[in-house]
Amino acid sequence: MTRLGALLAPALLSAAAGCQAGAAPATADSQEVAFSHKTHAGDNQIGCTVCHSYARHSPNAGLAPTSVCIGCHKFVSKDKPGVQKLTAEFAAGRPLTFARVHRVPDHVFFSHERHLAQGVTCKACHGDVAAMARDEKVHDLQMGFCMDCHRQKQATVDCLACHK
Amino acid sequence: MPGIGRRFFLKVVSATGVAAACSPSHAPEKLIPLLNPPENLVPGKPLFYRTVCRGCGAGCGVTARSREGRVVKLEGNPDDPISAGALCARGQAELQGLYAPDRLRGPLARQGDELKPLPWAAALAQLGGLLGKLRGSDGRIAGLRLLSRCEPGSAGAVQRSFASALGAAKNARVVFEPRDLASLRAANMKLFGRAELPVLALSRARSVVSFGADFLETWLSPVEQARGLMAGRGEPDRTRLTWISPRLSMSGANADTWLCTAPGEELQVALELLRWLLDPVNQVAALPPEAAAIRAALPPPRPLRGVSPEQVAHLGRELSLRRPSALLGPPASASGAEGRALAAAVQLCNLVLGNFGKSMQLGLGSELDAPSPEEDLYALLEEARRGEVTVLLLHRADPLGKLPASARVEEALRKVPLIVSLGERLDATARLAHFVLPDHHALESFGDLEPRKGMLALQQPVLSPLWDTRASSQVLLDLAAALKLPGIADKDFRELSKARWQAGAKALGAKLDTPQAQRDVQAQGVVVGHVEALQPALKLDGLAPLLFTKPSPAEGLHLVAFATALANADPEAPGWLREVPDVLTGVSWSSWAELSQATAQRLGVKTGDLLALSTDQGKAELAALISPALHDDAVAVPQDAPELRALGTPGRAVRLERTGKTFPLALTGRASQEGRDLARVIAEGGAPKREQGHEQGRTLVAPHEHPQHRWAMSIDLDKCTGCQACVVACYAENNLPVVGPQAAREGRLMAWLRIQRSVEKGASLEASRVALLPSLCQHCDAAPCEPVCPVYATYHTPEGLNAQVYNRCIGTRYCANNCPYDARVFNWEDPVFVEPLQMQLNPDVSVRSKGVMEKCTFCVQRIRFAEGTARDEGRPVRDGEVTPACVQTCPAQALVFGDAKDPKSRVALAQAESRGYRLLEEVNTLPAIAYQARRGGKG
């Protein structure tokens, strides 16, 4: 194990870097409105890409533009405080913001498009969102999580597939 | 690895203590959705817009790549016949002009000694009021003048109607282009009655002769000319180039023959060449009927100092046999009667050799908005000094910053009571202005121009304006409306431009029946019609006085100005053009003065000594640089150097004194191959010799399997001009930081691709050669960098790339030490992208941080993009579909990229060529890059 010493330093450094890269996980009360995936994707069976409409065509999945929210909420659940806030903000020309739950570091070039094209389900990384009233991170989305799946599915394990 | 697995080890270490010590104190990141999704925009996917480069007068078509509303890269427009998909270094750097931190961010108005910000409405109201008060009883302002750069399109039309509606003087509008080839334009006027610049088709020329015209750097249309010249290179009967100048510049480095004239002697050489061609003794075939009359008009011969009659005769013989040819000149720095005479002599040679209509085309140059003769500009300044100019409007014109000090521009400007500057930045002239009304950048503007006859280039914004700027043409229309100027009905410049270009496009045969057809033409970026070149008729009257000659300048030092492909000496140039070192000298970040070795020795000057230069016009201090390829009587200064303004126009005698001080020039690279034959030249029919020395095939690590692709490159040294467009494209594509002069002095430039130079001394100065070698990571199959990395941050990918994983790199720099090609660069500092330059960063490439090693990736992000597109379309990647940024932008098409596993790919065919060799082949690194040796071109 002559490489052990050489490995020690990078391990310490990369562990430290890994900590700094991640922002704090979002909690229920850090969200501006009490958006529920359970209501939307679960109870009402709205497909993921209705709101995350770029997921099949782009590395970025995208969030529903406020106008898409309004498309339904012009008619639906107008009595809910969250919807009222949404409507007011939209009328004022301001988007609602959401606290980010899932994030990979800047040096990772993840593509939703490529994963969906290969039949990876949203659930595989994001968990059963349709059952979540409040979003939670189910998987850590560290490299080991990615690699486990890549190995299992015999996908590429080339570093440059994700790091550029 | 047996025993403890690496990943397991990392998990253990990160789990013990270190992870616990970090407290995640960052607030949750906010996601902000769009209110309304913009049409066509998919976040994460690029959009491409076609527009026009306005960096110089060539008018290259551009494709701008935009991501999430920011333009991140410029490339040539493949449908444009001028750029044909390529772009020069300066064109690439237009992007840094757009994001320049010193761009004006809103209108300014003078309050006492200071320029203070003012809202547009107030500025325009104030200006309109002032202009209104100055109008005479006829509604005009007698002292109104408009000074503009050349605008061969709607912008020029708006300016002309504004100046004629509000101004009274006949030449109320003066077109000012400091780098215009005025001598050539004037000579064409005198000789053929056409005050236009030619369009060159160098691909048809078998021999090219340049009288100091830097046609591969900045002269006329460098991208098109590099493509044309190099189309005839690489083949056995290749296009020959003769360079006639006191200094071997980058264009000259591509020549087969250099005739080193004494400074100012180019005219004599051209006249002697013309005399030789016309002399019946030499029996040149197919002379035109005017030959005898031209011969009669030639001035009496004078002895040449730098060039022998035999050399002239040799060149004459070559040109009489190798037709068509193309003779080019003079450079932009040539001026006055002498410049005109040189241009006339060159054009007469072209006429005598029958080059017109073939390689040298007249009748195609745009006649729209030609730059005004110098006299008009000087008349304007004189009027200003007399106090007759009451209003001076400047559109992207900086006479104070660009004209020589002897023009006394400041004195003239201080007499003008109202100066309005419509530009992009606070240049020297704008600092004296009363109103500074910032214009959009070309990449933020609508417009149209006629780069040449029978062509229409369409300009459109590729991003929303960054700052509170307004199109100058719109400002003029707004002022015209406020002043109710007669004859200007248009209110909106975009509509005006659209109507104009649509009329022009219809005249060229474009179909614009439907809105979709109109959008298609705009998306194409260019409309190309067909115009035939003319056979110009020579006007014989006035020929003798035009071919004016004066005795060769006396011995002694003379000032020579030369153009560079980059702009290292120009303090206003963007960072990329200042930092990427000049290809022949290795200088970045400053001006310099070149002396020949003999002259430097005679004067006891060393490189880096600060010299005091003085001419009859003024003085300047410049750092000395000893040049291996310069006439002993020349002191050569880059034409972008601000110091040239004080010294006056080139050609004059110059005195040198040592100041006793030194200047820390930022110099990169050594002009030597240290005895190794890296940039190879082969004689006609020869093949490069194979280096021996190490056991063949014995590699440091085992070569790899490449199951699908083996990405590879081929670099043709017979075609590479050394223009460094590739280097700047690499900076743009790969987020390379500009490190500044101090780090450059320390050899810490971050370029992944550089052009190595080496000077091979011949028996004489003229026999010296400069060999240029594009040098980048060779993506070795048996890479010496890989086994020494303690953390596996560098490795060989299944597609043949030598990969560098930044997030894994710990910066031991072992890999750089072990790389025989010096291809790796280390981040000594965190990169700095001064606001808003960070908006240019390519989101597909990591921004590296301090302590990380990096190098060429063959633009892996572009490979992945092409692979992704191919996969979406359910087909294999096509040959030529993957182009790294350097290959994409190469004007000479010297670089070819592709899959070496496909035996029919262009790269595989190029690599198999007999001129092919690999760099340091004897060390058995098995590089993915093959070079093709330059042809000696003798005979």
Note the pLDDT of residue A27: 56
A105/B790 Cβ within 8 A: no
* pLDDT tier at B698, thresholds 50, 70, 90: confident
Angstroms from B42 CA to nearest CA on chain A: 7
Chain A contact set for B795 (CB, 8 A): 159
pLDDT bracket for residue B17 (50, 70, 90):
very low
Q: What is the mean pLDDT of residues B282-294?
A: 95
Closest chain B residue to A19 measured between Cα atoms?
B22
Residue B251: pLDDT band with limits 50, 70, 90: very high
Nearest to B29 among A10, A20, A100 (CB): A100
Residues in chain B within 8 Å Cβ distance of A162:
none
pLDDT-derived band of residue B10, with 50, 70 and 90 as boundaries?
A: low
CB B312 within 8 A of CB B499: no
> Is the bond into B28 cis (omega within 30 degrees of 0)?
no
Answer whether A136 touches B (CB < 8 Å).
no
Q: CA of A90: which chain B residue's CA is closest?
A: B35
| Inter-CA distances, B340 with A98, B69, B652, B704, Å | 69, 48, 17, 62
Contacts of B184 (CB under 8 A, 6+ apart): B197, B198, B329, B330, B343, B347
B694 vs B627, higher pLDDT: B627
Q: Report the pLDDT value the prediction gives residue B552, as an integer from 0 to 100.
A: 66
Strand B391-395 to strand B144-148: parallel, antiparallel, or no bridges (unpaired)? parallel
pLDDT, tens digit, 9 for 90 and up, residues B450-498: 999 999 999 999 999 999 999 999 999 999 999 999 999 999 999 999 9
Measure Cα distances from B587 to B138, B638, B666 in Å: 57, 11, 6
Is the alpha carbon torsion for B360, B362, B364, B370 positive or negative? positive
**Residue B518: closest CA among B549, B548, B485, B495:** B495
Percent of chain A with pLDDT over 70: 82
* Site from A1, A116, A159, A162 to mutate, B interface, most B CB atoms within 10 angstroms: A159
How much is the pLDDT for B268?
Answer: 94
Give CA–CA dist B879/B905, Å, rounded.
Answer: 6
Q: Find, among A146, A145, A126, the residue nearest to A137 by Cα.
A: A126
Tell me which chain A residues have a C-beta less than 8 angstroms from the C-beta of B28.
23-27, 30, 99-100
Spatial neighbors of B96 by CB under 8 A, at least 6 apart, are: B574, B575, B576, B577, B837, B840
Please list, in sequence order, all residues whose beta carbon lies within 8 angstroms of the beta carbon of residue B436, skipping any fewer than 6 positions away: B104, B107, B108, B109, B115, B420, B421, B423, B426, B430
In chain B, residues with a C-beta closer than 8 Å to the C-beta of A96 are 33
Q: Quick one: which of B407, B375, B381, B411 has its CA closest to B394?
A: B381
Closest residue in chain B to residue A57, using alpha carbons only: B42
- Tokens (6 digits) for B793: 């941050």
Name the band, by pLDDT with cuts 50, 70 and 90, for residue B18: very low
Mean pLDDT for the stretch of residues B110-132:
97
Please state, in angstroms and rounded to a whole number, the distance separating the CA atoms of residues B928 and B265.
47
Least confident of B155-164, B183-192, B679-688: B679-688
Q: What percent of chain B has pLDDT over 90?
A: 88
Q: How many CB pairs under 8 A join A and B?
A: 164
Per-residue pLDDT tens for B912-933? 988 999 999 989 999 999 999 9
Give the pLDDT score at B344.
Answer: 97
Inform me whether the pLDDT recorded for A14 exceeds 60: no
- Report the pLDDT value the prediction gives residue B8, as an integer from 0 to 100: 59
The confidence band for A13, taking pLDDT boundaries of 50, 70 and 90, is very low
CA distances from A48 to A63, A95, A139, A152, B577 (A): 10, 20, 18, 25, 47
| pLDDT for position B28 | 74
Please say whether the dihedral angle defined by the alpha carbons of residues B143, B399, B225 and B325, taken in this order, is positive or negative.
positive
pLDDT for A25? 54
CA–CA separation, B154 and B779 (whole Å): 49
- Buried-exposed string A134-144: b where 16+ CB fall within 10 A, e elsewhere: ebeebeebebe
pLDDT digits (tens, 9 = 90+) for B259-285: 999 999 999 999 999 999 999 999 999
pLDDT tens digit sequence for A98-152: 999 999 999 999 999 999 999 999 999 999 999 999 999 999 999 999 999 999 9
Asked if the Cβ–Cβ distance from B9 to A96 is below 8 Å, we say no
Instruction: Say whether pLDDT at B417 is over 60.
Output: yes
At residue B693, the pLDDT reads: 63
Q: Mutate which of B6, B25, B29 to test chain A, going by most A C-beta atoms within 10 A?
A: B29
φ, ψ of residue B144 in degrees (nearest 5):
-85, 130
- Which residue in A20, A24, A164 is closest to B27 by CB distance? A24
Contact B790 A6 (CB under 8 A): yes
Out of A100, A105, A164, closest to residue B845 by CB? A164
Reported as a single tens digit per residue, the pLDDT across B886-897 is: 999 999 999 999
Q: What is the pLDDT of residue B469?
A: 98
Q: Report the pLDDT value the prediction gives residue B156, as an integer from 0 to 100.
A: 97
Whether A97 and B32 lie within 8 Å, measured CB to CB: yes
**Average pLDDT in the B299-322 region?**
94
| Residue A57 sits at the chain B interface (C-beta within 8 Å) | yes
From the CA of A3, how many Å to the nearest CA of chain B? Answer: 7
pLDDT reported for residue B626: 96
* Residue B529 confidence (pLDDT) above 60: yes
Give the confidence band of B82 by pLDDT, cuts at 50, 70, 90.
very high
Contacts of B29 in chain A (CB under 8 A): 23, 99-100, 103
* Interface contact flag, B806 A163, Cβ < 8 Å: yes
Q: Which of B27, B810, B860 sits opposite A9 (nearest CB)?
A: B810
- Cβ proximity of B795 and A155 under 8 Å: no
Q: List A residues 63-122 in contact with B (Cβ-Cβ < 8 A).
A: 63-68, 90, 93-100, 103, 105-107, 109, 111, 113-114, 117
| Residue B512 contacts residue B502 (beta carbons within 8 Å) | yes
- Give chain B positions within 8 Å (CB) of A65: 33-37
B15 pLDDT above the threshold of 60:
no
Give the model confidence (pLDDT) of A51-76 as tens digits.
999 999 999 999 999 999 999 999 99
Which residues in chain B have their CB less than 8 angstroms from residue A111's CB? 44, 868
**For residue A6, is pLDDT > 60?**
no
Say if the Cβ atoms of A12 and B3 lie within 8 Å: no
Tokens of B520: 């298609």
Residue A34 and residue A56: Cα distance in Å, rounded?
Answer: 27
| List of chain B residues whose C-beta atoms are within 8 Å of the C-beta of residue A19 | 18-19, 22, 24
Looking at beta carbons, which pairs linking B113-120 to residues 24 or more positions away fall under 8 Å?
B115/B426, B115/B431, B115/B433, B115/B436, B120/B437, B120/B468, B120/B470
pLDDT over 70 percentage in chain B? 96
Q: What is the pLDDT of residues B819-862, one digit of tens each?
A: 999 999 999 999 999 999 999 999 999 999 999 999 999 999 99
Query: Which residue on chain B is closest to A30 by alpha carbon?
Result: B28
Is B14 in Cβ contact with A14 (below 8 Å)? Answer: yes
Segment B57-68 shows an average pLDDT of: 96
- Report whether B932 contacts B714 (CB < 8 A): yes
What is the Cα Rg of chain B in Å? 29
Q: Could B44 and A60 be called an inter-chain contact, meaning their C-beta atoms sit closer than 8 Å?
A: yes
| CB neighbour list of residue B204: distance below 8 Å, 6 or more residues apart | B228, B324, B358, B359
Mean pLDDT value across residues B669-676:
87
In this predicted structure, the answer to whether residue A5 has a pLDDT above a threshold of 70 is no
B808 pLDDT above the threshold of 50: yes
Contact A159 B14 (CB under 8 A): no
Structure tokens given for B266: 């180019």
**B568-580: pLDDT as tens digits:** 999 999 999 999 9
Q: Which residues contact B290 (CB under 8 A, 6 or more apart)?
A: B351, B538, B540
Stretch B716-731: mean pLDDT, rounded? 97
pLDDT over 50 at A18, yes or no: no
Name the residue of chain B whose CA is nearest to A97's CA. B32
Q: Which two tokens stand for residue B412?
A: 């003239």
Residue B527: the pLDDT is 97
Which pLDDT does position B236 carry in this prediction? Answer: 83
State whether residue A30 sits within 8 Å of chain B by CB. Answer: yes
d(CA B856, CA B325): 39
* Mean pLDDT of the region B33-39: 89
> If DSSP codes are grouped into helix, strand and coil, which group holds residue B672?
coil
Q: Show the 3-state SS of B101-133.
A: CCECCCCEEEECCEEEECCHHHHHHHHHHHHHH
Is B807 within 8 Å of A9 when comparing Cβ atoms?
no
Q: How many angstroms from the chain centroid is the CA of residue B754?
A: 16
Closest in B4, B10, B18 to A16, CB measured:
B18
Q: Does A10 touch chain B (CB under 8 A)?
A: yes
CA distance B465 to chain A (A): 21
Nearest alpha-carbon partner for B440 in B476, B466, B462, B420: B466
Tell me what the pLDDT averaged over chain A comes to. 85
**To the nearest 5 percent, what fractions of chain B are helix, strand and coil?**
30, 20, 50
**Cβ of residue A54 closer than 8 Å to a chain B Cβ:** yes
| Type and span of the H or E element at A72 | helix A66-73
Taking every pair of Cα atoms in chain B, the longest distance, rounded to a whole number of angstroms, is 98
Among B705, B752, B791, B796, which would you mutate to test the A interface (most chain A Cβ atoms within 10 Å of its Cβ)? B791
CA distance B777 to chain A (A): 16
By CA distance, what is B859's nearest residue in A?
A164
* Joined tokens for residue B815: 């890999």
